[in-house]
């Protein structure tokens, strides 16, 4: 079907994109092929030159991947999208395309651990200057701008401490300084159900499709959404030549399957997270709960303006020290100690020893990641059962 923006999100998550399989299969088939044959040398040459639409090698594109990309672009409201082998594949393919030696990028002070490692130990090795800036501070962003600034990158909400950044403000400041600066938002925590950054002025949206988009903890994938020219450039440079982070057709199929129930799942994740955050916030054994849905959360008003819900992620700290946090985690029974998020199962992790262990303790303190911080991905189980497990682990910790 052709994309129809008049249809609502849940409908487009099922129908957007062109499934033109001649068999009439209701579910688009998986095109498990590495290469594609040409009718003639001339056709092959035209496809390689970009003069004719069509596929020639699955590292660059594939019909199953194409349908996923059309659907993601539709849901994010962008001209185009690119699916990759992982969220880090999406991040690195994008930044290796947009940045060159001598360029400068501004990133928020709080980042997913592997993104921080890439910026700190990857980009800077190749003479790309990186400035870590508290993007809650508009003046700090303005002061950090340089003539060679090419991109501003941030997550919102941020992994793992749930900081919320004002997408519209950052985009406005960046584009006023230089319209060519690319504002890049990792919107993994939200999905397009909750937040569509390009509607607020951002240029590129990145997702780890491993998380909510897939939704079942059984795949690794990423997605990049933006204007056609930029996405095409990332496809032929960052994906094809720089990283080779090609998504497998089977994983593209699984993400497409996940998108069909995305809105339903995200609504349940949000409802359950609000319930759990409220209970944690009332527990005297918990010293701080970071969840933008709580009226007392410092980001509540901003989150209401730029998000259609508050997500399924919670960060909290216990009344104690790092040993208390570790004991709490080790005493969980139903809730799994695991580092992903957005699955049907509730998952809990300790960033300082897991996802953000690539930071030194000093770097974690500087970037707002406490040694006792606990990150909870609220799943689809009954909330009474989720909190019962939290309650017994709190009692023993």
Active site residues: 59, 112, 186, 211
Query: Residue 242 in contact with residue 106, Cβ under 8 Å?
Result: no
Burial of 27 (0-12, 13-18, 19+ CB in 10 A): exposed
CA 282, 284, 285, 287 torsion-angle sign: positive
DSSP 160-223: TT-----HHHHHHHHHHH-TTPEEEEE-TTTHHHH--GGGGT-SEEEEETTTTTT-SS----EE
Report the half-sphere exposure of 133 (CA within 13 A, side-chain side).
24
C-alpha span between 270 and 181 (Å, rounded):
33
Which residues have C-beta within 8 Å of that of residue 73, sequence separation ≥ 6? Answer: 79, 80, 81, 225
**Residue that is written with structure tokens 């998952």 in the block:** 347
Q: In whole angstroms, give the CA distance from residue 77 to residue 195.
A: 11
Q: Give the contacts of 106 (CB within 8 A, at least 6 positions apart).
A: 131, 133, 135, 141, 144, 145, 149, 151, 152, 153
Report the SS3 class of residue 153.
Answer: strand
């Amino acid at each position: 079907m052709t994309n129809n923006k008049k249809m609502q999100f849940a409908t487009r998550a099922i129908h957007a994109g062109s499934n033109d399989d001649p068999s009439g299969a209701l579910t688009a088939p998986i095109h498990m092929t590495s290469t594609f044959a040409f009718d003639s040398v001339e056709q092959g040459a035209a496809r390689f030159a970009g003069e004719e639409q069509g596929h020639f090698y699955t590292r660059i594109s594939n019909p199953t991947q194409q349908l996923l990309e059309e659907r993601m672009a539709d849901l994010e409201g962008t001209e185009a999208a690119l699916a990759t082998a992982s969220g880090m594949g999406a991040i690195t393919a994008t930044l290796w395309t947009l940045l060159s030696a001598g360029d400068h990028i501004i990133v928020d002070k709080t980042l997913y651990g592997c993104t921080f490692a890439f910026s700190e130990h990857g980009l800077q090795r190749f003479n790309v200057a990186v400035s870590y800036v508290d993007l809650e501070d508009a003046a700090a962003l303005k002061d950090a701008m340089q003539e060679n600034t090419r991109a501003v990158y941030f997550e919102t909400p941020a992994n793992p401490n749930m900081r919320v950044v004002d997408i519209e403000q950052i985009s406005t400041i960046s584009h006023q300084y230089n319209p060519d600066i690319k504002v890049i938002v990792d919107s993994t925590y939200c999905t397009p159900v909750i937040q569509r950054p390009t509607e607020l002025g951002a240029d590129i949206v990145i997702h780890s499709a491993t998380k909510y988009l897939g939704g079942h903890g059984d795949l690794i994938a990423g997605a990049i959404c933006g204007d056609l020219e930029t996405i095409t450039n990332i496809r032929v440079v960052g994906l094809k030549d720089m990283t080779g982070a090609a998504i497998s057709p089977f994983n593209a199929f699984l993400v497409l399957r996940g998108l069909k129930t995305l809105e339903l799942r995200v609504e349940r994740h949000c409802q359950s997270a609000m319930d759990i955050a409220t209970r944690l916030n009332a527990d005297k054994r918990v010293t701080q709960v970071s969840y933008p849905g709580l009226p007392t959360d410092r980001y509540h008003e901003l989150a209401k303006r730029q998000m259609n819900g508050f997500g399924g992620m919670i960060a909290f700290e216990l009344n104690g020290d790092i040993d208390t946090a570790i004991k709490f985690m080790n005493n969980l029974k139903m809730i799994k100690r695991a580092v992903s998020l957005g699955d049907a199962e509730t998952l809990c992790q300790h960033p300082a020893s897991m996802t953000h262990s690539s930071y030194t303790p000093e770097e974690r303190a500087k970037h707002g990641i406490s040694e006792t911080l606990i990150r909870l991905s609220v799943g689809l189980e009954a909330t009474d059962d989720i909190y019962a497990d939290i309650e017994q682990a709190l009692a023993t910790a």
